Structure 1
């Protein structure tokens, strides 16, 4: 293929067709792609590493049949299951995240949704109100499934500043990962409702589930159209017992190429590396931050233990030195 002028995308928007053409880059021009993505990150986002600490606030027994998820009741994964953590436990975790220096603290619950009128909804609302009344120093984010506009507005007024709802993959490929229990339009409607009430939205997906490059580009432009504020890129870490349990890991160049192309598409947004950072990227984590990433989860994930939090912040110091 003819060599692509990648640098032209530093100062102008890239079309879906042009983004798809970048997926065919290989060899030495990959290094140029990573360098341009890093230059865009620096120009539009600066040298801040955005961090988020999450609480797996309610685990397991999820009625949805997402094929990648260890928490689905449809699969035998032996994941730890428990009811919603108490307000006291969540408050302690919030304080620990604050001490660590995280930018955000996220409450993540399993299940289709935490609906208004339930005890779980009331308890989360009370936690948000109490934390807000004390003068929160880090933003409060929630991932509570498929909510409506009234619920999102009420939670915003209680103290939630950002709502998380991943698309996971493209509209076209969604039925390949969630066969029966809900549709991607349910997620899109939740994201639209969150934006309508003035919440920031964090939404991305998982790469490595058998999707095509076309699917990854389609997902990116759907997210762009929805106006999301942060884009987490998770790398599938196959979990035994799920339908994706035997999949092979993506190659490093494919992961880094995805991050770089997303940075070119989302010039001024936070692109956050989530699941798979320690287990799959490993020694290539630094390269992810030289290829356009500028955010990461610290202190562990949902059903997978992360690195020690202090090690994560030591890594952040190293990233900042790489950026200098």
Structure 2
């Protein structure tokens, strides 16, 4: 018997998803117009049917901060905007390993190496490229973590090398719909982003690509972004919510986004992407009250980004575990079998977060 929410539109879509059918743009638009409660119920059903019953936690390190030549309107690391952030070159393999070990201790299953630039270039910056590869090797050898990367635009050769080094997921967010993208970014195109994702996928890496909500996009844009991600083929779909940084263009034209909008979008994304981890990432703490952070998990989300972000602080991994428990779920331990009680015991802030002495780990976006 198919689960029924009592909403005819939602129930029809849910039945088709459970039967293995892929929903399309028309379905997504119809679902986005429905009340949040039946959507949340349906999202949870899809997660339970297609998922493994866990919430997967990833952590990232800002391995190279600031002075990025791109003009993404949400990003504190762009050289085009005066945001006052700390800038530095590539941290180096030992510092990356230090960050990974802390992330491992705090319950992450995945560890992403992130740089702020258009692309790590094997040809133009060979020393930095060599350090990236050595960092990947060290983390894989010494930690029980899946290693991911967000290194900007890739050539086919670079993607092949990263895949051979064992990169699991390549992160390169599309940020928003193809229509709205030029309103946010002027120095490269939506198609440029898709090309890099295609190159990474062809090399054998899984894809982590998602969006930022609250940048002035419409509900239609949110659906069209999800449909574009269907065509790309992602296994991890991060949902960032804009946490505007003073000095960026979007800080001056922020569009308020409600808890209901966030929960509804997460549920619709889960219905459109039943096989992907829909992951709560940057900006969730700034946009969701603490007492409501479990609601997107109850609506179908089954992944989080834990710890700090690229240039802004997150909450403690212990608090994230409590939110997972509040949603009636359990943390994933497939790669890293950690001790939840020990993580929560560090919740009082007396110890450093996974990257306090290294770098912060991206509230503007998980790859920019």
Tell me if 1:150 matches 2:157: yes
CA distance in structure 2 between the aligned counterparts of 1:176 and 1:248, rounded to whole angstroms: 14
Find the residue that maps to 2:83 and give its secondary structure. coil
CA distance in structure 1 between the aligned counterparts of 2:128 and 2:143, rounded to whole angstroms: 21
Residue equivalent to 1:257: 264
Which has the larger displacement, 8-17 or 212-221?
Answer: 8-17
Residue equivalent to 1:55: 61
Tell me if 1:83 matches 2:89: yes
**Offset at 1:130?**
3.1
**Offset at 1:319?**
2.9
Say which of 305, 313, 316 aligns to 2:321: 313
Gaps of 5+ in 2: 1-6, 17-21, 332-368
Change beyond 3 A, Cα 1:49–1:196: same
Find the residue that maps to 2:68 and give its secondary structure. coil
Say which of 129, 139, 142 aligns to 2:137: 129
Query: Cα deviation per residue 1:219-240 (whole Å; 9 max; x = unaligned)?
Result: 1111111111100000111221
Query: Cα deviation per residue 1:49-72 (whole Å; 9 max; x = unaligned)?
Result: 011011011111111000111111
> 1:161-240 residue pairs with structure 2 within 5 A?
161-179=168-186, 181-240=187-246
Residue equivalent to 1:141: 148
**Offset at 1:96?**
1.4
Query: Cα deviation per residue 1:20-42 (whole Å; 9 max; x = unaligned)?
Result: 0122223xxx2111111111111
Find the residue that maps to 2:88 and give its secondary structure. coil
Tell me if 1:5 matches 2:13: no
Residue equivalent to 1:295: 303
CA distance in structure 1 between the aligned counterparts of 2:297 and 2:92, rounded to whole angstroms: 36
**Offset at 1:258?**
0.7
Gaps of 5+ in 1: none
Residue equivalent to 1:108: 114
**Offset at 1:311?**
2.0
CA distance in structure 2 between the aligned counterparts of 1:274 and 1:154, rounded to whole angstroms: 27
Residue equivalent to 1:304: 312
TM-score (norm 2): 0.82
Aligned residue pairs total 316
Query: Cα deviation per residue 1:1-36 (whole Å; 9 max; x = unaligned)?
Result: xx643122224232211210122223xxx2111111
CA distance in structure 1 between the aligned counterparts of 2:183 and 2:309, rounded to whole angstroms: 24
Residue equivalent to 2:31: 22
Residue equivalent to 2:359: none
CA distance in structure 1 between the aligned counterparts of 2:311 and 2:319, rounded to whole angstroms: 19
CA distance in structure 1 between the aligned counterparts of 2:248 and 2:234, rounded to whole angstroms: 29
Query: Cα deviation per residue 1:175-220 (whole Å; 9 max; x = unaligned)?
Result: 10012x1111111010001111110110001011111122111111
CA distance in structure 1 between the aligned counterparts of 2:61 and 2:275, rounded to whole angstroms: 27
CA distance in structure 2 between the aligned counterparts of 1:184 and 1:304, rounded to whole angstroms: 25
Aligned-pair Cα RMSD in Å: 1.6
Say which of 30, 34, 48 aligns to 1:42: 48
